[in-house]
Amino acid sequence: MKPTNETLELLNRHVSVRQYLDKPVSDGQLAAIIEAGQMASTSSSVQAYTVIAVTDPALKAKLSALSGNQAYIVQCPVFLVWCADLYRLRESSAPHLQGAESYEDTTENLIVATVDVALAAQNAAVAAESLGLGIVYIGGIRNHIAEVSGLLGLPELVYPVFGMCLGYPAGASGLRPRLPLEAVLHHNSYQAETTVEQVKVYDEITRDYMRERTGGQKDTPWSEMMAGRLAKPDRLHMKEFLLQKGFMQQ
């Protein structure tokens, strides 16, 4: 029998929220949420991330336009932009290096910073949901990442990884089914045949989910949706942008 408790129940109720009430998030709530994010694991304590809380309506509107005109960016009371940040690491370490070569611009450190952002953001998401708030991640800020970076004044070695709408949900959203556990949890080695076979199981689950969600108008399985995603050359500007920002030099 699988164990259960209040934390597990909260995690298993997670849904993306795309409609928000016209109700503010208090400074105290925001501080508690970000502080919870800060307690996530971080590689070697580098804490290589910065969060920009955007509440100005005009700025949110500009970010929405750059992110594919997603209306919930404008509607939510707080839009968080989660940034991988190696600038702070470089600048604060420089006085101690006394001219020695520094390797903040390696591909490994880009990975470290990006993982740090994701871990902190998910901690923050759980904290927000524990307070009755809702979130949705916004990868669309990478559609025009140079413009977003300029708009937010991001220096060298800082890039916006994703956004996060934050606010009180307006109405309930349905749970979206995930891959079967057997597709994700492998014991002692990678089970290549099992993980592909389990997708067939998941395809039937997602067909049923899509039929219910669309009133029978669609029954597209997960594997077909993913094929459509892979067939689309998406955000091919990212590599050049990251190189220009000083990342992946070594």
pLDDT in tens, 82-112: 999 999 999 999 999 998 999 999 999 999 9
Query: What is the per-residue pLDDT across 199-225, written as a single tens digit (0 to 9) for each?
Result: 999 999 999 999 998 999 999 999 999
183 belongs to a structural domain: yes
Supply the range of the domain harboring residue 22.
14-175
Same domain, residue pair 171 and 188: no
The total number of structural domains that make up the chain: 2
2 belongs to a structural domain: no
Task: Kindly report the backbone phi and psi dihedral angles of residue 214, in degrees, each rounded to the nearest multiple of 5, phi listed first.
Answer: -105, 10
Q: Give the angle 232-237-243 at the CA atoms, nearest 5°.
A: 145
250 belongs to a structural domain: no
> What CATH number is associated with residue 68?
3.40.109.10
Is the full-model pTM beyond 0.85? yes
Residues 6 or more apart whose CB falls under 8 angstroms from that of 42 comprise 48, 116, 119, 120
Same domain, residue pair 168 and 188: no
Query: What is the per-residue pLDDT across 59-76, written as a single tens digit (0 to 9) for each?
Result: 999 999 999 999 999 999
pLDDT greater than 90 at residue 39:
yes
Q: In the listed set 175, 210, 225, which residue is the last one of a domain according to the structure? A: 175
> What pLDDT does 99 receive?
86
> What pLDDT does 173 receive?
81
Same domain, residue pair 134 and 237: no
What is the identity of the amino acid at 151? L
- How far is it, in rounded angstroms, from Cα 105 to Cα 3? 43
Classify the phi-psi angles of 47: left when phi > 0, otherwise alpha if psi is within -120 to 50, otherwise beta.
left
Same domain, residue pair 228 and 152: no
82 belongs to a structural domain: yes
Query: What is the per-residue pLDDT across 157-182, written as a single tens digit (0 to 9) for each?
Result: 999 999 999 999 998 788 999 999 99
Same domain, residue pair 183 and 238: yes
9 belongs to a structural domain: no
Helices and strands, counts by H and E, the chain: 11, 4
Same domain, residue pair 143 and 181: no
